[in-house]
Amino acid sequence: MTSSETSTQRIPPFVSLGSARAFGVPSVATASNHLNSVAGIMNGAKVSRETPAIGNVLDALDDDSPIARELAHENRRRERLLDRNLPKPEKTRVFTVSNQKGGVGKTTTTVNIAAALAAAGLNVLVIDIDPQGNASTALGIEHHADVDSIYDVLINDMALEDVVAPCPDINNLICAPATIHLAGAEIELVSLVAREQRLRRAIDVYAKSRQKKGEERLDYIFIDCPPSLGLLTVNAFCAAGEVLIPIQCEYYALEGLSQLLKNIEMIQKHLNADLEVSTILLTMYDGRTNLAAQVAAEVRQHFPDQVLGAVVPRSVRISEAPSYQQTVMTYDPSSSGALSYLEAAAEIAER
């Protein structure tokens, strides 16, 4: 698939994304019948005595085979999402997606959950405050040095409504991009008045502006943070009511989590008493390893109410999608990664 072809894709409705029929995923019975027919053709063909009995190999893929069980399991997961309407929250829910450890899936989680909720008809804003600007890239938003960005909002008091841009692939999804200028924003924020509250005030002004214009209220705001605990992340914590923590299913992620929770506790005491860790998402799960299962079990044991039931597996499709300036929802909606993020979005919406 070329870049030009993928850029024209449009995300189908949420019910279609969650539907097994929408992807043409075969049921176990259909797959078994197909294999049996192929086996019959092969058995009737003239094959040398040295050739293995291919029909026997295909017959072995019955309903009890790992492949068949996996197909059946994915079908059941998709069927549970079929015709599922996600409720609108009573007020705008603002999430900070944070973890000071890098490479745990913060940006990937931000853009894909935002895309899944937007596909369900909800109004979603993504605020990219990571100087790398990866969330802006994944959503197809320009973020070169000459573009007005969240930097101008935080440092130059520009209105947020003058910065946001619509995602070209997904309706109801807008993004405030980040540029490389954010790399120096930590130092510039130090001398500014109310430096920790600048993002929160910008969001409040933007919400009032939308209301005055008669535009629909935003249902969700996701703030993608850099892998640090500096002033940019503190601004995100002060602006949000909830924290979403992606945790990679590896040992180092557990060490980073304890430090992150201590910093959130400080924010709660001194800057934002309403902040709570509401959601933890396990990412990069590799079911083939005991370590991933042990890390997942330990996190669930300590945070039984916060950890989502959905688990995001390691997926090549998730990694490939940003290179086409897309989320996995538009790049490959039938992939296991897209299905996992759809499940995670539904859980968040229904909490």
Non-local CB neighbours of 238 within 8 Å, separated by 6+ positions? 196, 197, 199, 200, 267, 271, 272, 275
Q: What pLDDT was estimated at residue 63? A: 60
Question: pLDDT band at 24, cuts 50/70/90?
Answer: very low
**Structure confidence by residue, pLDDT tens digits, 209-268:** 999 999 999 999 999 999 888 899 999 999 999 999 999 988 887 777 888 899 999 999
Q: What pLDDT was estimated at residue 203? A: 97
Helix (H, G, I), strand (E, B) or coil at 127: strand
Q: Where are the alpha helices (DSSP H) in 161-221?
A: 185-189, 198-212
**Structure confidence by residue, pLDDT tens digits, 279-319:** 999 999 988 889 999 989 999 999 999 999 999 999 999 99
Residues 143, 176 contacting (CB under 8 angstroms): no
**Model pTM above 0.85:** no
Angle at CA of residue 120, ends 117 and 126, nearest 5°: 30
**Structure confidence by residue, pLDDT tens digits, 128-162:** 999 999 999 999 999 998 999 999 999 999 999 99
The span from the CA of 257 to the CA of 111, in Å, is 22
Q: What pLDDT was estimated at residue 62? A: 56
**Structure confidence by residue, pLDDT tens digits, 25-81:** 444 344 344 434 433 433 444 433 344 444 444 445 456 677 777 777 777 777 777
Q: What pLDDT was estimated at residue 11? A: 44
Q: What pLDDT was estimated at residue 326? A: 93
The span from the CA of 47 to the CA of 269, in Å, is 76
**Structure confidence by residue, pLDDT tens digits, 72-89:** 777 777 777 777 788 999
Non-local CB neighbours of 50 within 8 Å, separated by 6+ positions? none
Share of the chain above pLDDT 70, in %: 81
**Structure confidence by residue, pLDDT tens digits, 177-216:** 999 999 999 899 999 988 999 999 999 999 999 999 999 9
Looking at 20-29, 113-122, 150-159, which range is the least confident one?
A: 20-29
Pairing relationship of beta strands 165-166 and 173-176 according to DSSP bridges: antiparallel
